[in-house]
């Protein structure tokens, strides 16, 4: 084994032995990281026939080892793609997931296109929902609300990376005073923590590396929906709407919370796997 193609093969075999899923993708991403070359670029394929630099080999083998120990691929790579944009990620911030693109798709379908919008994204984390919306909507103002200092660090970086105009409000969405600092919005989105106590006891190894504060939504997983609807319902214009990401099987409960607080035309939309993933409701 003298070239990177050989090293890649060896790394792939190691990941397979450890039971990692998607071994080819993982190995390519990690070799790309070690080489400092995006593995989806042509340069990467060209590099595969090059002679191995021992420094790169060491780095690659170290990354593969950490991956077999459960560290998420996205944290090891340090950035991840969401809705065609790149986000810096690492320990302390929730990894952008493909499921969450359903929230963006749903909002883009429902949001008015004929005027400038005021949009807030609660529990914004990396800022992935907010910045994806910003690229496709005409936003007068876009605000991301986040509590965790670690997540805020990634968020600030991502704002620069994506040349975003989003504003950041540090605050706890379970407190009314946070809502009082927001303007009245056309759309409020949130992917709040929604895992139940049971879910937290059965987390996939990779997910245990992600911040608990971004995952745990109380015993039944619904705490944040209750707080958000109560605290922020007055921060939506008449005719404006909430769009929430939800966990599998939560649609009835989250829709009920919205209906109880007077929201209309409450609907759930499915993700690419056919699971209800986004709930929306309009302010009267």
Residue 66 burial class via C-beta count within 10 angstroms: exposed 0-12, middle 13-18, buried 19 and up: middle
276 touching ligand GLN, by CB under 6 A: no
| From 76, 166, 195, 268, residue interacting with ligand GLN (rule: CB under 6 A) | 195
Evaluate the CA torsion angle 206, 268, 174, 119 in order and state its sign.
Answer: positive
Interface mask (CB under 6 A) for ligand GLN, residues 77-116, using x and -? --------------------x-------------------
Least gap, CB of 36 to ligand GLN (angstroms): 30
Closest residue to ligand GLN in the complex (CB): 194
Span interacting with ligand GLN, options 7-15, 28-36, 193-201, 256-264, rule CB under 6 A: 193-201
Secondary structure letter of residue 234 according to DSSP: G
158 or 191: CB nearest ligand GLN: 191
Give the whole-angstrom CA distance, residue 147 versus residue 156.
13
State which of positions 172-191 bind ligand GLN (CB under 6 A).
191
| From 15, 131, 215, 257, residue interacting with ligand GLN (rule: CB under 6 A) | 215
> Angle at which helices 251-260 and 223-232 pack, to 10 degrees?
20
Nearest CA-CA partner of 170 in 187, 186, 156: 156
Give the whole-angstrom CA distance, residue 248 versus residue 257.
16
Nearest CA-CA partner of 127 in 105, 106, 148: 148
Q: With CB under 6 A as the rule, give the number of residues binding ligand GLN.
A: 8
Least gap, CB of 207 to ligand GLN (angstroms): 5
């Amino acid at each position: 084994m003298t070239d990177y193609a050989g090293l890649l093969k060896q790394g792939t075999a190691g990941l397979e032995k450890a039971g990692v899923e998607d071994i080819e993708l993982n190995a390519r991403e990690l070799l790309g990281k070690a080489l400092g070359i995006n593995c989806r670029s042509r340069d990467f394929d060209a590099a595969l026939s090059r002679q191995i630099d021992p420094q790169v080999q060491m780095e690659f083998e170290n990354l593969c080892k950490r991956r077999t120990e459960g560290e998420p691929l996205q944290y090891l790579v340090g950035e991840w793609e969401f809705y065609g944009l790149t986000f810096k990620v690492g320990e302390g911030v929730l990894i952008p997931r493909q499921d969450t693109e359903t929230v963006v798709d749903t909002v883009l379908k429902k949001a008015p296109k004929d005027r400038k919008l005021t949009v807030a994204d609660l529990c914004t984390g990396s800022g992935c929902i907010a910045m994806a919306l910003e690229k496709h909507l005409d936003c007068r103002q876009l605000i991301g609300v986040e509590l965790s200092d670690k997540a805020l660090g990634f968020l600030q970086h991502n704002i620069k990376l994506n040349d975003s105009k989003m504003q950041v409000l540090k605050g706890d969405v379970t407190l009314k005073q946070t809502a009082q600092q927001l303007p009245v919005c056309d759309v409020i989105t949130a992917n709040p923590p929604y895992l139940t106590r049971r879910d937290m006891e059965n987390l996939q190894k990779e997910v245990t590396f992600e911040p608990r504060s971004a995952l745990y939504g109380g015993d039944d997983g619904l705490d944040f929906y209750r707080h958000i609807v109560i605290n922020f319902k007055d921060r939506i214009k008449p005719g404006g709407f909430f769009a929430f990401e939800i966990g599998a099987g939560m649609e009835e409960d989250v829709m009920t919370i919205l209906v109880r607080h007077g929201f209309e035309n409450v609907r759930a939309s499915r993700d690419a796997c056919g699971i209800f993933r986004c709930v929306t409701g309009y302010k009267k």
